[in-house]
Structure 1
């Protein structure tokens, strides 16, 4: 096994790299070609992992290289960020195999900024078994899969069970309405001195969570399809979500004093016991545990409260992509790695148990629930294979797992997604930092900006 001396970072969403150019190389002459000699590929690894997690990753690499003696794997840390990814893509600093958010898939495919590995993917035994809604994120307009779905999520309400207990709340009965969220946030702030509810606000995450709250209240920030897409940012649900934040911040004083959170920093403070509740992807526990040392006994998660006729939970996920600069042999090796590392543990009992054993031996989370990329039956079968190795407090996930399959999952805006979120970041920031912020005016400006983005896309 060859490990790069330096590892470079990856979070919830990540990307497969090009070696040095923003435009794609030409398509492979034989995209289904097997590696014919020693091939080295660089793959993404989470940043900030503790040594046991690194050891577990290296063990999986060793297993892969033993099964594929003509392929060597090196690692590079990679953290996807909406504000830096384009520069990393253009600068050729990304690894050869990397994760990207669902929201980036179609644009990168259309611009041919990732490799067309669709012929290789089509040969995988489960290629036609993906949930169609999830599969679409990695497919081109003709349905060919260029990037492989490796994880899906629906948004959840994460909460600190210790802070709940300190505030006199029952952690086994978390809030089921937004009024209850507000009440719990105030109780936590009053009784513990910590932020009862925190909100991401920058690097596109403020718009991401505001859109989540909008969906949960029955609204949409964008409507329509194809050329008939219209911005609907200034809808009643978004106004209601912002009004709730304003009241929690300025009337209840329940949101603490930090208002420049992104995904990484809010995870850090939540794991450190500084936040009672926040909204993020429902499958966030492994990151909280491995990168932020979250105490498992203090962790809780539940589904989002849904209110309104068209309410639903925002859903998204992660794709594994391959560099457009990769050779035929490197592309074939990359798809082998994606199949081995990301997917086989979901579809093959032997692989599922092998990965779970490595994770358990190195004290990594085993069995943390997540929204399945295949169907519910496949997910439940996979969970049954590893049940004897599960080392997470499943009872703390019960408020989520008991309900998540019953909630409507609504896809993120399909066009200019990250740009739409970026346009909404300043709206959330303003409401949380200016007591006199004019919500209607802020949304009117954002409405104009988002419509311009849609018109140009």
Structure 2
């Protein structure tokens, strides 16, 4: 589960269960006379809620195409994109495949069939489209919204003498809070897993709106960015500084983000964590462990002239690889954003869906607070990067965390990677 939504990406609603294939047999009676097979790749169902959602999607598709067999092949996520690339090169790729929004999809649009016109009528209902669009074309419909909210443990805040009802709003406040937590408790300030190098993604996108002015933020998303600029290098410097100041759990570079670092937060071993909005490490999962002690906070203001915004965008969606089955593929994509299927999964699985007409029926306060921030949300900065730059960022993030590279050298390498 390396990159949820994210180029992450983190984001993930479904997790790897390795190479399994399931088929829905051809239905009899009713509907059209169309027959055949639709081969769909994803990375499997994580739990009962995800399995039920997949069944709902299949049911919605079968209503339109009762005589079409759907073969779902679940690949392990840590090898997913490598296996997909190999299959496509050998001519054995699926008709559709699940993609993380952002870098993972946008770096592969040359192998995908646009569905811009076919899905145009959904634009007003669904949010999160930019993560699945490139060069004026749409390549999928977002199923869920994925983002990087900051969760905190109110009990640890109180133990450190902090006001749990008023979490930090500035970098100075956050620094003071971490100092108090480290001094007054035996907990780390933030839970961090950086074995895969993903921590800097969460840090950069999680705190971005407090670092960059709105103009800088939008320019970054549009591809006009300079890693050697003041605020970009500041982001790298703060990442390194927070490590030197002891904010993170011991051995962060050898701790897996999914799920070891999030388990640390759930177990009350860290005061804060930059988590996710959907899939895993989200409000519902943390609520099961922390209950009333679970809090949500926005990014903090680092620089003047910034406007705080929740970092969130479309998380996952299916891309069409076989243009000969475009009509069937489009109906599959439409089934994945079926209103009733998404509504059922939103509550059972803890997803914040792309369907803006669905109300999140829960009394979990952190979820309601997240939803209230969605109208002013901004896309994730790291998902605008190329795959090559993102891989480099992962390596440099690990080296910065333990002082093996300077901020100046890291910024220079990142600038060179983007030409």
Give the Cα separation in 2 of the matches to 1:397 and 1:262.
25
Q: Is 1:61 matched up with 2:65?
A: no
CA distance in 2, matches of 1:357, 1:222: 34
TM-score when normalising by structure 1: 0.68
In structure 1, the gaps of 5 or more residues are 1-9, 16-33, 346-350
- Aligned residue number for residue 318 of structure 2: 321
Matched, 1:421 2:390: yes
Matched, 1:164 2:161: no
For each residue in 1:138-185, what CA deviation from the matched residue of structure 2 results, as whole angstroms up to 9, or x when unmatched? Answer: 3343x3322223333443212234433444444433222222223333
Q: 1:216 to 1:300 in 2, by over 3 A?
A: same
Where does 1:244-259 land on structure 2 (aligned, <5 Å)?
A: 244-251=238-245, 253-259=246-252
- The one-character-per-residue Cα deviations of 1:310-335 (angstroms, maximum 9, x if unpaired) are 4554444334233424642xx33332
Where does the alignment leave 5 or more consecutive residues of structure 2 unmatched?
1-8, 15-31
In 2: Cα distance, 1:154 partner to 1:293 partner: 17
Distance 1:105 1:364 in 2: 24
Rounded to whole Å, the distance in 2 between the matches of 1:188 and 1:393 is 28
User: Once the two structures are superposed, what CA deviation does each residue of 1:379-415 show, in whole Å capped at 9, x if it has no partner?
Assistant: 2x421xxx6xx2x4432335444445346x2553686
Task: Report the Cα offset of residue 188 of structure 1.
Answer: 3.5
Aligned-CA RMSD value? 4.0
Compute the displacement of 1:217 (Å). Answer: 1.4
Contact 1:115 1:325 (8 Å CA) reproduced: yes
Write out aligned runs for 1:137-156 (5 A).
137-141=131-135, 143-156=136-149
Please give the residue correspondences for 1:15-54 in structure 2 after superposition, counting only pairs within 5 Å.
36-44=34-42, 46=44, 49-51=46-48, 53-54=50-51
Match of 1:444 among 408, 416, 419: 408
Report the alpha carbon displacement of residue 234 of structure 1 after superposing the two structures with TM. Answer: 3.0
Offset at residue 37 of structure 1 (A)? 0.7
1:53-132 to 2 correspondences below 5 Å = 53-62=50-59, 64-66=61-63, 68-77=65-74, 84=79, 86-92=81-87, 96-109=96-109, 111=110, 113-122=111-120, 125-127=121-123
Q: Structure 1 pair 306/35, CA: closer, same or farther in 2 (3 Å)?
A: farther
2:191, 2:272 within 8 Å by CA — same for their partners in 1?
Answer: yes
- Cα 1:186–1:138, aligned 2, differ >3 Å: closer, same or farther? same
Deviations 1:193-223 (A, max 9, x none): 2321134545452342343235421266995
Structure 2 partner of 1:405: 375
Tell me the CA shift for residue 257 of structure 1.
0.4
